[in-house]
Each structure stands twice: as structure tokens, then as C-alpha cells.
């Protein structure tokens, strides 16, 4: 785990979000459009006692579509906002070019997607609103806000890029675990249309139909390995509580 806390790095490496990719330059005028179509790369550090692991996460946005890509597992989780109200989840298995679709508003294993900001930003607007603003500095795409929140079992420290609606740095400290998300770079010229179009071409199965097909080896394997359930991405709800059964992505 990096020794530096969010308080030490909040205003460091600010060039991450202002740099140009191709002809795209992020400033206060371009941020409203650039934030809707981009790719952001995060390092995710998890420390339990003396054990430490670092993995990667890629956040993709294309207007009303958002995806979280986990290269280590070759799984992409995607959510589409339908009519500004309903959220349609899809889980893509990139190595197999297969997909499991869930209907908008569908309750799966007791969970229902109802907060698009949580997927779009990795932290929900409700969680940010519950935190204390400690410091704000900079302008435009370089504007950073430092938030903190302490509960009996957790301490949360968030460095936020408000104009891009992106986490720059997020630390969740618990008695036996520390989780940390650090923004590595932002690509405003990423071909987001090609990214989503490729995955939408995968062979897809509706979640409700999985139990009816006992002849598909892929579905049988995924069910047995527990990969069919939705929402197990190891992030946090609006109350800062971990959701899903795994924090290992």
C-alpha cells in the first residue's frame, strides 16, 4: 500500500486530467462534453494485514453507458441508463465473447440497481453529499476537492474532480483492511463507441433464461463459479458500505 495518504497527494500530479490526447484538451469549457465520453485507468490497492495486492480498473463512459473493466478477470461490467430512470446491467465475459443481460430495474439476489451515479463515478452522489468538504483548490479540469467521512468502522478520504465527475484518489480504511483507488490517466480521445459496440456484438443470454438452458457449457461453468450474479464489483453504496461478496477485482 502506498505510504502517502490522500492528504499528501491531493494536489500532486495535477497534470493527469489536463493533458491532451490527440486534439482533445480538457479545460473548463470542454469538460462538460469530455466527461461523457472517456476512459480512465485506476490502480486498485488492497491491503489485509501484511498482504498487499494491486490490480487495474478501467472506467469507460459513452453518454448514457458506463463500464468497469477488470483486466485480471477479463470481465467487463456495464450499465445503461434507460429513459433517465431505469438501469440495465450487462456482464461481459471478454475472454469468451459472451454476455449476460439483466432487465432494467430487475432485482437480482435481493439487489436492484437504482443509482446510476454510483456506477458512473465509482462513488455515488449520495455518498459525496454525506462527506465533509475539507479543501478545494484549482479551476476547471484541475479543480480538486478533498472530502472525508468517519464512521465507527470506516474512514473515507476522497479526492474528487468535480468537473469530470471522476475520483482522483479514494481511500477506505477499516480495522483489518485498506482499499485505495488511484487515478493513473484519463483518455478523452478513447474510441468509446468501438469499445461498447464490440461487447454488444457478443453472444448474449438473458439472465431469466439461464436456468432453462442446461446444454450450454459456458453458462454451466459460469453458474458453478458464481459469476452470474450481478453487482459483485466490490465497490460501495451510498452509505459507504461494501456491496457484493468479493473485494478482489
Q: Has residue 240 been placed in a domain? A: no
Number of domains present in the structure of the chain: 1
**Residue 93 pairs with which residues in a beta bridge?**
75, 98
Q: What is the pLDDT averaged over residues 70-92? A: 91
Q: Has residue 245 been placed in a domain? A: no
CATH of the domain at 127: 2.50.20
pLDDT tens per residue, range 6-56? 444 444 444 455 554 444 788 888 999 999 999 999 999 999 888 999 999
Q: Has residue 55 been placed in a domain? A: yes
Q: Has residue 93 been placed in a domain? A: yes
Helix (H, G, I), strand (E, B) or coil at 247: coil
Q: Residue 45 is part of which domain span?
A: 6-225
Instruction: Report CA-CA distances (Å) from 218 to 96, 102, 198, 205, 224.
Output: 8, 17, 19, 11, 10
Q: What is the pLDDT averaged over residues 72-97? A: 91
Instruction: Tell me if 178 sits within 8 A of 172, measured CB to CB.
Output: yes
Q: Has residue 215 been placed in a domain? A: yes
Cα of 194 vs its chain's centroid, Å: 19
State the pLDDT at residue 20. 43
Q: What is the pLDDT averaged over residues 183-187? A: 95
Contacts of 189 (CB under 8 A, 6+ apart): 21, 22, 23, 24
Query: Which of the four pLDDT bands, split at 50, 70 and 90, describes residue 2?
Result: very low
Q: Has residue 231 been placed in a domain? A: no
Query: Which of the four pLDDT bands, split at 50, 70 and 90, describes residue 103?
Result: confident
What does the alpha-carbon distance between residue 109 and residue 153 come to, in Å, rounded to a whole number? 26
Three cell numbers written together for 75: 470481465
Instruction: Tell me if 23 sits within 8 A of 34, measured CB to CB.
Output: no
pLDDT tens per residue, range 218-243? 887 777 666 655 444 444 333 334 43
Amino acid at each position: 500500500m502506498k505510504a502517502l495518504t490522500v492528504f499528501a497527494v491531493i494536489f500532486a500530479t495535477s497534470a493527469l486530467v489536463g493533458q491532451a490526447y490527440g486534439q482533445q484538451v480538457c479545460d473548463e469549457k470542454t469538460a462538460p462534453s469530455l466527461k461523457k465520453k472517456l476512459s480512465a485507468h485506476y490502480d486498485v490497492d488492497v491491503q489485509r494485514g501484511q498482504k498487499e495486492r494491486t490490480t487495474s480498473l478501467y472506467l469507460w463512459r459513452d453518454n448514457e453507458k458506463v463500464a468497469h473493466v477488470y483486466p485480471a478477470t477479463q470481465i467487463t461490467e456495464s450499465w445503461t441508463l434507460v429513459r433517465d430512470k431505469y438501469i440495465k446491467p450487462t456482464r461481459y465475459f471478454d475472454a469468451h465473447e459472451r454476455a449476460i443481460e439483466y432487465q432494467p430495474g430487475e432485482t437480482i439476489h435481493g439487489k436492484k440497481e437504482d443509482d446510476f451515479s454510483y456506477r458512473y463515478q465509482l462513488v455515488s452522489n449520495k455518498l459525496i453529499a454525506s462527506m465533509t468538504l475539507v479543501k478545494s483548490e484549482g479551476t476547471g479540469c484541475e479543480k480538486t476537492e478533498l472530502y472525508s467521512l468517519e464512521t465507527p468502522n470506516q474512514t473515507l478520504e476522497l479526492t474528487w474532480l468535480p468537473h469530470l465527475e471522476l475520483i482522483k484518489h479514494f481511500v477506505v480504511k477499516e480495522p483489518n483492511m485498506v482499499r485505495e483507488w488511484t487515478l493513473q490517466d484519463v483518455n478523452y480521445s478513447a474510441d468509446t463507441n468501438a469499445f461498447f459496440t464490440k461487447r454488444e456484438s457478443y453472444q448474449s443470454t438473458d439472465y431469466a433464461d439461464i436456468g432453462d438452458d442446461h446444454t450450454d457449457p459456458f453458462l454451466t461453468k459460469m453458474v458453478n463459479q458464481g459469476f452470474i450474479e450481478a453487482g459483485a464489483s466490490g465497490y460501495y453504496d451510498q452509505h459507504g458500505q461494501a456491496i457484493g461478496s468479493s473485494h478482489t477485482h
